[in-house]
Amino acid sequence: MDKTEPAHSDLQTQILTEINSIISDSEVNGKPLEVDPARGRLFELFVSAEAAGCVGDDADPDLSADGICQSLSSQWGLQEAAQASVANQTRLDQDQLGKMRNLWSVMRMWMEWTYAWERWAEFHKEPAASTKSDDGSSESN
C-alpha cells in the first residue's frame, strides 16, 4: 500500500471538513461565501489541494471543484433530495436549496481562483527595461 494514501485521505477529510465549516459559518452569519473572510479561507484550501496534487484529472482523492461538490453533496444528501424532488414533482426545501446555491458559489469561486492561479506569472512579470535610442526616444527591450 502507498504511504501517501492515508495522508491524502486525511487531507481530503481536513479540506472537506473545513469547507463544510466555512459554508455553515456563512449560512449562520448570513454572509455570502464570495466575501472575505470566507473567500480567502476557501482560496487557501484550494491552494492546499492543488499543492498536494489532488486537483488533476485522475487525482485521488479528487479535490477539484467537481470532487469537492460531489463529496459535500453526498454528505448532505442533496442527490437523493433532488431525485425525490423530481420524482414527486415537488420543490426542494429551503435548506437543501440553500446548500445547492452554496455549492454553486464554491464552483464559481473555484473557477475564479483557477483563472488567477494559472495566470499569476503572466501578471507578475517584471516590466521590460527601457533604454534610450540614438535619437533620444525611449525603446522597450
Per-residue pLDDT tens digits for 59-76:
888 899 999 999 999 999
**Cα–Cα distance for residue pair 108/105, rounded to 1 Å:** 5
Alpha helices in the chain (DSSP H): 4-29, 38-51, 65-76, 78-88, 94-118, 120-123
Which pLDDT tens digit goes with each residue over 17-41? 999 999 999 999 999 999 999 999 9
Q: Is the pTM of this model over 0.85?
A: no
Residue corresponding to grid cell 499569476: 120
Q: What are phi and psi of 132, to 5 degrees?
A: -90, 135
C-alpha cell, 1: 500500500
Q: Is the pLDDT of residue 8 over 80?
A: no
Q: Is the pLDDT of residue 135 over 70?
A: no
Distances (CA, A) of 89 to 78, 81, 103: 16, 12, 23
Which pLDDT tens digit goes with each residue over 87-115? 999 998 899 999 999 999 999 999 999 88
**Given this model, what pLDDT does residue 1 score?**
44
Number of domains the chain contains? 1
Could you tell me the residue range of the domain that residue 74 belongs to?
Answer: 4-140
Nearest Cα to 67, choosing from 120, 59, 105, 14? 59
Residue corresponding to grid cell 479535490: 63
C-alpha cell, 80: 437523493
Q: Is the pLDDT of residue 131 over 60?
A: no
Which has more confidence, 140 or 30?
30
**Cα–Cα distance for residue pair 4/52, rounded to 1 Å:** 10
**Given this model, what pLDDT does residue 56 score?**
80
**Given this model, what pLDDT does residue 7 score?**
63
Q: What are phi and psi of 108, to 5 degrees?
A: -65, -45
